[in-house]
């Protein structure tokens, strides 16, 4: 009996450890999607109960909502990828010997880019692109939106990379070098794994910022869910404004949820 109980206890512990891999738990996996799903369902039921005119039905049809959502995600994810591809390598370079003196300058530049506001950056870039030969308003608007959002969301990833690498214990680095590791090996095997949690937190913040703020991309002709809010305001249709707001907020919450799942899954064991 005792041996059977011990084996059962071992299996339960193994199952629990597997289910918590990287900190993943059922509440984390299902709570936010369920909340977003419930909010979208309630919004749909509320709108369906209204007396919709021709304008509302035309602006809220399924194919149009799908197209606007894809445009929104295209701008937000493209901007986030640009940020990750530039801010993380820059942060790594700035933490290497001989480059640390430029950290303050780079941080100031990133702060200025964020303080400019995403819309201001979009407009400046759009005005430059629209004057280029062969450019179209739609293409210039999309490019301006992506680059403007990338500039706006650059700081969290850069700061997360710098902070993550700086917090690595110096004695650990000395021990790694004492084992004969090269600078590249220390970075790849020691520094980056230990810095991953903070770096991923910066990427997660940047992703949520871009998804939530991409609504203003509609103002430069880049499409997205912001079009619903603008159309609703121009036509004085509250239902359209609410639909755009709930859709944008829902995607932002799901982006935060996805970032949390990835962050915990990629977190090295023991951290």
Window from 124-128, 185-189, 200-204, 221-225 with minimum mean pLDDT: 124-128
Cβ neighbors of 70 (< 8 A, separation 6 or more) are: none
Evaluate whether residue 27 is within a structural domain.
Answer: no
Evaluate whether residue 120 is within a structural domain.
Answer: yes
First to last CA, the chain: 37
Evaluate whether residue 7 is within a structural domain.
Answer: no
Evaluate whether residue 199 is within a structural domain.
Answer: yes
d(CA 158, CA 83): 9
CATH number for the domain including 258?
1.10.3720.10
pLDDT digits (tens, 9 = 90+) for 9-25: 444 444 444 444 445 67
What is the chain's alpha carbon radius of gyration, rounded to the nearest angstrom?
23
How does residue 1 score in pLDDT terms, banded at 50, 70 and 90?
A: very low
Output the average pLDDT for the chain: 83
Evaluate whether residue 1 is within a structural domain.
Answer: no
Kindly state the average pLDDT of the residues 161-169: 90
pLDDT at 13: 44
Total structural domains within the chain: 1
pTM: 0.81
pLDDT at 134: 61
Evaluate whether residue 96 is within a structural domain.
Answer: yes
User: For residue 231, what are the domain limits?
Assistant: 65-266
Kindly state the average pLDDT of the residues 247-255: 94
Residue 252 has pLDDT above 70, yes or no: yes
């Amino acid at each position: 009996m005792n041996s059977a109980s011990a084996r059962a206890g071992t299996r339960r512990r193994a199952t629990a450890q597997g289910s918590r891999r990287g900190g993943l738990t059922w509440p984390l996996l299902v709570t936010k999607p369920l909340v977003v799903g419930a909010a979208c369902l309630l919004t749909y039921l509320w709108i369906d109960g209204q007396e919709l005119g021709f304008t509302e039905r035309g602006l809220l049809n399924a194919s149009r909502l799908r197209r606007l959502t894809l445009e929104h995600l295209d701008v937000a994810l493209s901007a986030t990828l640009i940020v990750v591809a530039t801010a993380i390598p820059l942060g790594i370079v700035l933490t290497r010997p001989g480059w640390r003196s430029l950290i303050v300058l780079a941080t100031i530049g990133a702060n200025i880019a964020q303080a400019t506001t995403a819309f201001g950056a979009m407009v400046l870039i759009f005005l430059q692109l629209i004057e280029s030969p062969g450019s179209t308003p739609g293409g210039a608007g999309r490019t301006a939106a992506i680059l403007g959002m990338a500039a706006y969301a650059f700081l969290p990833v850069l700061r997360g990379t710098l902070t993550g690498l700086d917090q690595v214990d110096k004695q650990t680095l000395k021990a790694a070098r004492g084992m004969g590791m090269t600078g590249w090996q220390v970075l790849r095997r020691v520094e980056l794994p230990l810095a991953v949690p903070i770096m991923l937190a910066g990427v997660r913040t940047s992703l949520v910022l871009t998804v939530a703020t991409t609504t203003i991309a509609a103002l430069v002709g880049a499409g997205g869910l912001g079009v619903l809010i603008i159309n609703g305001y121009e036509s004085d249709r509250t239902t359209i404004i609410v639909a755009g707001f709930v859709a944008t907020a829902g995607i932002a919450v799901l982006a935060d949820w996805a970032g949390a799942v990835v962050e915990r899954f990629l977190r090295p064991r023991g951290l």
